[in-house]
Amino acid sequence: MDVHRLRILRELADRGTVAATARAMDMTPSAVSQQLKVLAREAGVDLLEPDGRRVRLTDAGLALVVRAESVLGELDRARAEMDRYRSTPVGVVRLTLFPSAAELLLPGVLRRTRAAGVRVTASDADLPGTELPAMLADADIVVAHRDERAAPLGGPRIASRVLMREPIDLVVPLGHPLADAGRVDATQLADLDWISVRDGFPVDDVLRSLATLTGVQPRVVQRINDFHTIQAMVAADLGVALVARHAVTHPGVRGLEIVGVLAARILEVAIRPGAERRPAVAAVLRALDEEVAAVQP
């Protein structure tokens, strides 16, 4: 089977549609469809089936994607072996982080990798962990986050590990009655106006846990994902919020530790299996670990 066509099949599995696959591979949708038809003939079995106005992978197609991952992984490992003959881990590594992790870690990571001779192309994407396969279609390394109680991110085609645990604190305006408490119990948070993030993100999971403990559904008055904007709204006395500890920077707010509930998010780093064998990727992973060690108390 042609390797290029296997890559097209993997892209389709990652991106979900022929149109998105075509854009990613700089092809026309008709060319993508034609190449997948040829691959089906090579495989001797149907790889796609209609799904409304789109197509989806058949069971055979899904099985071939897993095999294609192995084949393409072996090719990547062959390239990595050639890289090992170089004295330094040079190359370009695509790194995607969610915005608050980028603010916390990216400057230090870029300084460290520049010294190692590795060029990092960074981007930010605030997407739930379910989007990891699509993000890894465009990145060598993805830093994602999940609630502390949620299952680890990943899957059969993703290798992930915990990068750090970051507590989530209650953020109140300086004049709030709780501002000088230092720490608060979950039961003190039953009757407040909340500024939260969108559904499906770790901070909102913690807010739902608080609702379970207090028996009171929180009054969410606004939902926005940017921690800087959230803190500006809290400082204006428009509500209280939950914010990851390292992101609490606004001079008009105070962060308070919450006791009595698991209030933290887990940062995980994800790659394709075997990608760490590329010296340049390994150098970026080391830089992430070193920066985490530097920012954690």
0.75 surpassed by pTM: no
**pLDDT at residue 87 in the model:** 54
Cα(187)–Cα(263) distance, integer angstroms: 14
Task: Give me 124's structure tokens.
Answer: 């930010």
Residue 43, judged by CB atoms within 10 A of its CB (0-12, 13-18, 19+), counts as middle
Q: Token digits for 144?
A: 């994602």
CA distance 167 to 286: 23
Query: CB of 290 within 8 A of CB of 100?
Result: no
For residues 197 and 206, what is the distance between their CA atoms, to the nearest angstrom?
A: 11
The tens-digit pLDDT sequence of the chain (297 residues) is 788 899 999 999 999 999 999 999 999 999 999 999 999 999 899 999 988 888 999 999 999 999 988 888 888 888 777 766 555 667 789 999 999 999 999 999 999 998 888 899 999 988 777 788 888 888 999 999 988 888 887 777 889 999 999 999 999 999 999 999 889 988 888 788 999 988 777 788 888 888 887 777 888 999 998 999 999 999 999 999 999 999 999 999 999 999 888 888 899 999 998 888 888 899 999 999 999 999 986
Question: 3-state SS of the chain: helix, strand, coil percent to 5?
Answer: 45, 25, 30
Q: Which residues contact 37 (CB under 8 A, 6 or more apart)?
A: none
pLDDT of 190: 79
Give the Cα separation of 114 and 106 in Å (integer). Answer: 12
Residue 85 has what pLDDT? 56
**Domain architecture of the chain: domains with CATH:** 3-83 (1.10.10.10), 88-159+266-295 (3.40.190.10), 165-264 (3.40.190.10)
Q: Which two tokens stand for residue 221?
A: 């008055």
Q: What are the C-alpha distances in Å from 253 to residues 36, 63, 263?
A: 55, 52, 19
Query: For residues 297 and 287, what is the distance between their CA atoms, to the nearest angstrom?
Result: 17
Contact between 36 and 8 under an 8 Å Cβ cutoff? The reply is yes
Do 133 and 96 touch, CB atoms closer than 8 A? Answer: no
